[in-house]
Structure 1
């Protein structure tokens, strides 16, 4: 099992690290200030950095080989260290057009979209000209089980009419968000619960689409992307906006979530690695009880334990990525579930230790730790909560051994 980075991946990683050092870390405070001043608009600084990244060839790095001219042709295993590096700063993935939810939506359109849908929406997304959202989660049902989704998508001649309420729809607050992929039920009476749902493209400016409010995450509004509550009241879209076909929504969702889950985990490893580095620097510099903090045994243990846990999660991420490349997402589903359980919890533990070693500074706005802790805690719910992954993984493992 060879996890050495390919020459292509290593060259891109070196280039990416240089870009981060020159353009990302020095602009963290400026980006946050601009986003706070105009919360639901893409900061001008972001657009400037995106142009630099595109010119440098650091663009759409997540896209596999089959995606044409905008793809660098990386495998999942090659992309993993790049996503890890981007994960060190919350907003960095967008600079390289590798940020959620756009990545998942691009994968959906590339894999399942019609030629017209690709032309209208995939191309501008791949160019970074627009942003998008994925509307699945609902406040009234347990949306971790997609068969519970209650939003109705009703056929009316050459159109579909959508009624329902979604919330925590990442990206929908932003003015540059032009399109949503909405999941709802077209056939609620179907005896097969997995054939009741469909997914449909809904432009944000369609009459009846109402962004009710931005939802906060531990007090953060995560501007400019935001997480919106969205109301759909008799929203009418052409039948051509349906993705793949009626009753195929669950299938599309499963195809979308596999790569999205592992991308999150790759970034979690990067967030934890940066927290560890800050932890080490703080321990060496801070004087407590007359000596550097690193002299304290408990601090050394926190650093050592964190390094072990990060490396374990990194290797599991790479193994899952390699399995996806070699055997496909379906055969890698157990490993994807494992790393989705492990990575956010690992990152939370490491960041928590870093916060503790930083003291009051750790919970302030002067480091990335507090905001990143909130983001990682959210990942224990995003793309399926821990309990769902453990339930399904345990079921699969027990069934396999029983056979």
Structure 2
């Protein structure tokens, strides 16, 4: 494509970005020490909500920095939201939730907004939008390769006016949070149907009999506050009115949910990369080795330059994918989103890894946020579809395309 240009943000979007920048500087980053102190006092595998979280949510609401991820609520395009979400990625434990822009709630709210009935929106979407509850998305299973959603084995069977749900899920993010009130569960309602019409999503209140949250799964040994749980559904009964969308529409709904969810992860990953580069630069200036600052070493300067170039390239790809969502929709943007989902977490982990190396022992400990940042963004290369699945879809689209100008060399 030639002559491609991204539109300028609106005045309101620019003002919200400035407001978010102040919020991060004056509220979020100074609150990290209190958040970590509460987490440490509660214990490494506790999921108690630190007090500062609700304080920050109130402040964000007062600043108008609330539900900006959802165009129907905020009036922002995905492209306008991207720089704001990127700022939140500087403090992944605090900032996304503070502005009600944290996974998996954002994806779940997208689903309820797009496919929920009026009752479902009133009962579940409104409290989520208000930040009163949290939710979890139960799709991944330990027994099958869940990167292929058609493999899902959990059964959702009709029983009169109810569904009976039986299955085992894991990496159900958010399920350990004491405020988690709702699961969106994906399972098979008709194994005999065409392969992409076998799956259905249903809403399951956490308190429903038969739902057992078994345990949390740490990411590189780290238990985050919201958790990534293993969950059993043993004959869980819910009314058929709890179906989300239509029976057999689960696969399509999952794709619709994952489009914005994936690009939002990329936005936040850019923020993590920027924070890592800022830490790298500060360390390089302050640390003396062999009689001079590390910043005087050619190899360190190269690492800084490579990091800046990679971040800028990744940001352009992410923003182009956002714009394609805005103008053409999730389906049309799926290849660009796949590219961003591979490229941006790669860049984030590369930049964080360089920052860790320059920090030495401090980089691999809890003396800096780098080790935790690396663990999460390395996991992002698996979450919401592993790199290999996205590369497969990118190659498929490329093989199906036709170059605008085909070189005229002779056939061999």
Q: Distance in 2 between matches of 1:236 and 1:2?
A: 48
Q: Please report the RMSD computed on the Cα atoms of aligned residues, expressed in angstroms.
A: 1.2
Select which of 122, 129, 135 maps to 1:132. 135
1:121-145 Cα distance to aligned partner (Å, 9 max, x none): 0000000000000000000000000
Secondary structure, aligned partner of 2:91? coil
Deviation at 1:332, TM superposition (A): 1.0
1:270-309 Cα distance to aligned partner (Å, 9 max, x none): 1001111111111011000010100100000000000000
Q: Distance in 2 between matches of 1:37 and 1:130?
A: 24
Deviation at 1:323, TM superposition (A): 1.0
Tell me what 2:101 maps to.
98
Tell me what 2:66 maps to.
59
Deviation at 1:167, TM superposition (A): 0.4
Tell me what 1:146 maps to.
149
Q: Distance in 1 between matches of 2:96 and 2:336?
A: 24
Q: Distance in 2 between matches of 1:280 and 1:402?
A: 42
TM-score, normalization by structure 2:
0.94
| Residue 310 of structure 1 pairs with residue 311 of structure 2 | yes
Is the Cα contact below 8 Å between 1:341 and 1:390 reproduced in 2? yes
Secondary structure, aligned partner of 1:401? coil
Aligned length: 396
Deviation at 1:401, TM superposition (A): 3.0
Tell me what 2:255 maps to.
254
Q: Distance in 2 between matches of 1:36 and 1:157?
A: 49
1:229-279 Cα distance to aligned partner (Å, 9 max, x none): 000000000111001111000011011000000000011111001111111
| Residue 200 of structure 1 pairs with residue 202 of structure 2 | yes
Secondary structure, aligned partner of 1:243? coil
Q: Distance in 1 between matches of 2:39 and 2:126?
A: 26
Q: Distance in 2 between matches of 1:173 and 1:13?
A: 32
Is the Cα contact below 8 Å between 2:174 and 2:229 reproduced in 1? yes
Secondary structure, aligned partner of 2:110? helix
Deviation at 1:175, TM superposition (A): 1.0
Q: Distance in 1 between matches of 2:41 and 2:198?
A: 43
Q: Distance in 1 between matches of 2:403 and 2:63?
A: 52
Tell me what 2:31 maps to.
27
Structure 2: which 5+ residue stretches go unaligned?
405-412
Tell me what 1:298 maps to.
299
Tell me what 1:211 maps to.
213
1:365-388 Cα distance to aligned partner (Å, 9 max, x none): 121110010010111011100000
| Residue 375 of structure 1 pairs with residue 373 of structure 2 | no
Q: Distance in 2 between matches of 1:208 and 1:371?
A: 34
Tell me what 2:55 maps to.
48
Q: Distance in 2 between matches of 1:137 and 1:398?
A: 30
User: How do 1:229-244 and structure 2 match up within 5 A?
Assistant: 229-244=230-245
| Residue 113 of structure 1 pairs with residue 116 of structure 2 | yes
Deviation at 1:361, TM superposition (A): 0.6
Deviation at 1:3, TM superposition (A): 5.0
Is the Cα contact below 8 Å between 1:183 and 1:200 reproduced in 2? yes
Secondary structure, aligned partner of 1:132? strand
Distance 1:398 1:246, change over 3 A: same
Tell me what 1:364 maps to.
365
Q: Distance in 2 between matches of 1:36 and 1:282?
A: 26
Is the Cα contact below 8 Å between 1:41 and 1:176 reproduced in 2? no
Tell me what 1:180 maps to.
183
Q: Distance in 2 between matches of 1:42 and 1:120?
A: 23
Tell me what 1:263 maps to.
264
Secondary structure, aligned partner of 2:248? coil
Is the Cα contact below 8 Å between 1:3 and 1:318 reproduced in 2? no
Tell me what 2:410 maps to.
none
Which shows bigger deviation, 198-207 or 393-402?
A: 393-402
1:66-93 Cα distance to aligned partner (Å, 9 max, x none): x3xxx22100010000010000111210
Tell me what 1:166 maps to.
169
Which shows bigger deviation, 22-31 or 265-274?
A: 22-31
Is the Cα contact below 8 Å between 2:153 and 2:167 reproduced in 1? yes
Q: Distance in 2 between matches of 1:398 and 1:17?
A: 42
Deviation at 1:42, TM superposition (A): 2.2
Q: Distance in 1 between matches of 2:221 and 2:272?
A: 20
| Residue 14 of structure 1 pairs with residue 32 of structure 2 | no
